[in-house]
Amino acid sequence: MASKAQYIIGVDTGGTFTDVVVLSNAGKVWTAKASTTPDDFSRGVMDAVAEAARAGGMESAQLLEQTILFKHGSTVATNALINRSGVKVGFITTKGFEDTTEIMRAIGRVDGLSPDEIKHVTWITKPEPFVPRERIIGVRERMDYQGNEIVPLNWDDVMAAIRRLIEDDKVEAVAVSLMHAWANPRHEEEIRALTAEADPQRKVYWSFGSSLSQVAGEYARANTAILNSYLGPTVERHLKGLETKLQESGLKGPLLIMQGNGGVAHREHVSAIANLQSGPAGGMIASAHVAGLLKHENVITTDMGGTSFDVGLITEGYWRYAQEPIVERFRMLQPIIDIESIGAGGGTLAQVEAETGRLLVGPGSAGANPGPVCYDAGGDQVTVTDADLALGIIDPNYFLGGRMTLNKEKALRAIEEKIAKPLKLKIHEAAAGIYDIVNAKMSDLIRRQVVRTGYLPEEFVIYAFGGAGPVHASGFAAELGIKMIYIFATSPVFSAFGAAAADVIRTRVMSCQYILPADPAVINQRLDAIEEEMGAALTGEGFKRNQVEFRRFFTMRYRRQTAGVEMPVAWDRFTVKRVAEIQTAFEKKYEELYGVGAGYTKAGSEISEIRVDAVGKVAKPRLSASRKRKSDIKAARKGKRQVFFTRPDRRFIDTPVYDYERLGTGARIKGPAVIELPFTTTLVPPEHRITVDSYRNLVMEVR
């Protein structure tokens, strides 16, 4: 008797569409999309699951009943930050440091601003704080930087602060972050105990800086606690509501939530801020999974969706975490994959600036509602998707695999009226200008990301995903001189694919100071303590110890520097020899990043941070290579249409169109060409060729 099919579902809620990937235990993979529903994100998730069930030939209840893991990446936290729709927060800190979050740092005035925004010096102001000064209360206490108690915690101060915030200010959440609690959290733990007496019914949501981060830096750690409290109730309501809907619809397996660190965690173990950047993190996980399969050491991950363009790097087989990620212009301390984003997606708006007559593209977006003009849903501002349609790249009758018909005539009229006439251009010239500008913005972002790591763009391959990524990848790759691009069958839903493939990951980052050459026994003792605690946490989630893998990283720097270089650590135990080897590796890496002779070895070096990822392995999608077979290119050809190419000559070309589903392994097509997948379109310019590899990936190269 055949065994019952089991499924893993990965969901990514984006700004425009909610994507689903379903993996079966038989190795089958299929995808689906539904519109994101900002008024209630869980409704969009349920709609997307229903679409996936239909694509698999079953009812939603059947699919969910046979799902062993449901993994969800969401923009709920990010959305609440952008829209300032979190809850009313109060903040308790060390007396004398109540103004820390408003003073910020010197760079705080420009944190999170684009280069263009920074140029307008007279316009720059500090961001509006999430907690106003009147709801920040100091309490008497003090630890030093080594964790020694200087002033005991004054319990009367704490109780008075709690009563004032809850009873007088009517806050919905409270954040607590005390000076040097990263070195010794005892005073914060005492406050936690006092909250049981002051708030026994847990009317408010509580966040403690020492629980969220054990890294030095009072400003960023305070922001971390504040943002977690600001977002906590909103994220908790969404996740609880979604879990209830899924369970009522038949889900028996656990709901796992995608985190910004590249892993998933059970719903009850996820902090609100860990949910930030979970969508882009899914794309990085999928990229790392595929890069391991294809043996790619250096990869640029590019995710162009409906709203944003997200860029990350895999170097030497590893992704990096941002040292102090900036969210909505505030620095925080959380292990979030280093992914940079700009407003450059299919829904990104194009306009002619009235004062200068320049064509501007982004950063604003038409979003899911009303969307581009061609969606015919009320949108009246020209977008990148409208330009792609005008250039002939997109088939208006095959959008979302034919589920949606685009209004090309309406898009052309909007481009003519709003862009072409003011600039005295033809419609296709105006559309080509939009296409080129958005590509240039994306290539600029990639170049900045790559160069600051000490590499050159041509040392990488590009993974292009997101619904709009394969349309534009050849354009921004050409700007960078990168000659190889990979596009996947799952590219339009790659973040959801990454969520489906993600392991359970817990990350611990801790400040330290080990001046090299340090005693290896001291380093081993610290690593053992961290890994014992993290291993026990994953054991509590159902993993056996032999299923838990530890990944170790040291942040190293020359003494008296403030910034460091993160280095992967290949060993679980240190000896005197290995301590010397890691020091030598750091000096070599430093010169690779900053130039020969940049290092100053006489200053000495130190380990300033330890990061450990505890990874609980879960089932992965089984991607197996297929044998090369003869491919009937003619049978895959759907027809041809006029497509405007901006390289090497700016002109319309009669371009053949191919159905990806009919292209066999080993198929090779010379550009110009268009290859249509159900949820995206791949543009192959002249002087390029595309090959279907053994995993049915599309590999585009310059001929």
Of the three residues 236, 261, 293, the one that is the final residue of a domain is 236
pLDDT at 3: 61
Tens-digit pLDDT profile for residues 303-360: 998 888 989 999 888 888 888 888 888 999 988 888 888 888 899 999 999 889 999 9
pLDDT at 681: 94
Q: pLDDT confidence of 630, banded at 50, 70, 90?
A: low
Number of domains comprising the chain: 4
Q: pLDDT confidence of 631, banded at 50, 70, 90?
A: low
- 182 and 109 within one domain: yes
Portion of the chain with pLDDT greater than 70, in percent: 97
- 28 and 63 within one domain: yes
Q: pLDDT confidence of 620, banded at 50, 70, 90?
A: low
Distance CA 619, CA 6 (A): 11
| 467 assigned to some structural domain | no
- 150 and 254 within one domain: no
Question: Is the pLDDT score of 35 beyond 90?
Answer: no
Distance CA 363, CA 384 (A): 11
pLDDT at 1: 41
Question: Which of 475, 380, 482, 491 lies closest to 434 in space, CA to CA?
Answer: 475
| 328 assigned to some structural domain | no
pTM, two decimals, is: 0.85
- 425 and 408 within one domain: yes
Q: pLDDT confidence of 654, banded at 50, 70, 90?
A: very high
Q: Are 498 and 282 in contact (CB under 8 A)?
A: yes
* Least confident interval from 205-214, 466-475, 501-510: 501-510
pLDDT at 403: 80
Q: What backbone phi and psi angles, to 5 degrees, belong to 413?
A: -65, -40
pLDDT at 608: 93
Query: Comparing 282 with 683, which gets the higher pLDDT?
Result: 683
Tens-digit pLDDT profile for residues 162-180: 999 999 999 999 999 999 9
- 38 and 97 within one domain: no
The CATH number of residue 558's host domain is 3.30.1490
Question: Is the pLDDT score of 621 beyond 70?
Answer: no
Tens-digit pLDDT profile for residues 530-552: 999 888 888 877 788 888 889 89
pLDDT at 617: 82
| 318 assigned to some structural domain | no
- 222 and 105 within one domain: yes
Tens-digit pLDDT profile for residues 266-299: 888 888 898 888 878 888 988 988 998 899 999 9
Tens-digit pLDDT profile for residues 412-438: 999 999 999 999 999 999 999 999 999
pLDDT at 133: 93
Q: Are 634 and 670 in contact (CB under 8 A)?
A: no
Phi-psi region of 197 (alpha: psi -120 to 50; beta: other; left: phi over 0): alpha
Distance CA 678, CA 400 (A): 6
- The alpha carbon of 269 is separated from its chain's Cα centroid by a whole number of angstroms, namely 19
- 107 and 64 within one domain: no
| Tokens matching residue 119 | 């140029």
| 592 assigned to some structural domain | yes
Query: Comparing 593 with 381, which gets the higher pLDDT?
Result: 381
Residue carrying the six token digits 């925080």: 332
Q: Which amino acid is present at 290? A: V
Q: Which of 8-12, 250-254, 442-446 has the highest mean pLDDT?
A: 442-446
Distance CA 392, CA 389 (A): 5
Portion of the chain with pLDDT greater than 90, in percent: 52
DSSP result, 398-434: SBGGGTB---HHHHHHHHIIIIIHHHT--HHHHHHHH
| 675 assigned to some structural domain | no
- 117 and 49 within one domain: no
Q: What is the dihedral of CA 136, 138, 142, 144, to 10 degrees?
A: 30
Output the CA angle 441-446-452, nearest 5 degrees.
Answer: 130
Average pLDDT over all residues of the chain: 89
Q: At a CB cut-off of 8 Å and minimum separation 6, what does 569 contact? A: 552, 553, 554, 582
Tens-digit pLDDT profile for residues 184-211: 999 999 999 999 888 888 889 999 999 9
Q: Give the gyration radius of the chain's Cα atoms.
A: 26
- 251 and 225 within one domain: no
* Least confident interval from 4-13, 56-65, 440-449: 4-13
Q: Within the chain, what is the greatest distance between any pair of CA atoms?
A: 81
| 2 assigned to some structural domain | no
* Least confident interval from 88-102, 165-179, 629-643, 673-687: 629-643
Question: Is the pLDDT score of 145 beyond 60?
Answer: yes
| 379 assigned to some structural domain | yes
| 561 assigned to some structural domain | yes
Determine the structural domain holding residue 361 and report its residue range: 348-385+396-436
- 268 and 201 within one domain: no
Mean predicted confidence (pLDDT) in 634-647: 92
The helix/strand/coil state of 181 is coil
- 563 and 534 within one domain: yes
Mean predicted confidence (pLDDT) in 484-491: 91
The CATH number of residue 146's host domain is 3.40.50
Distance CA 604, CA 693 (A): 49
The CATH number of residue 70's host domain is 3.30.420.40
Buried b (16+ CB within 10 A) or exposed e, 629-646: eebeeeebbeeeeebbbb
Mean predicted confidence (pLDDT) in 597-617: 90
Question: Which of 611, 620, 335 lies closest to 503 in space, CA to CA?
Answer: 620
Note if the bond before 672 is cis, omega within 30 degrees: yes
- 259 and 167 within one domain: no
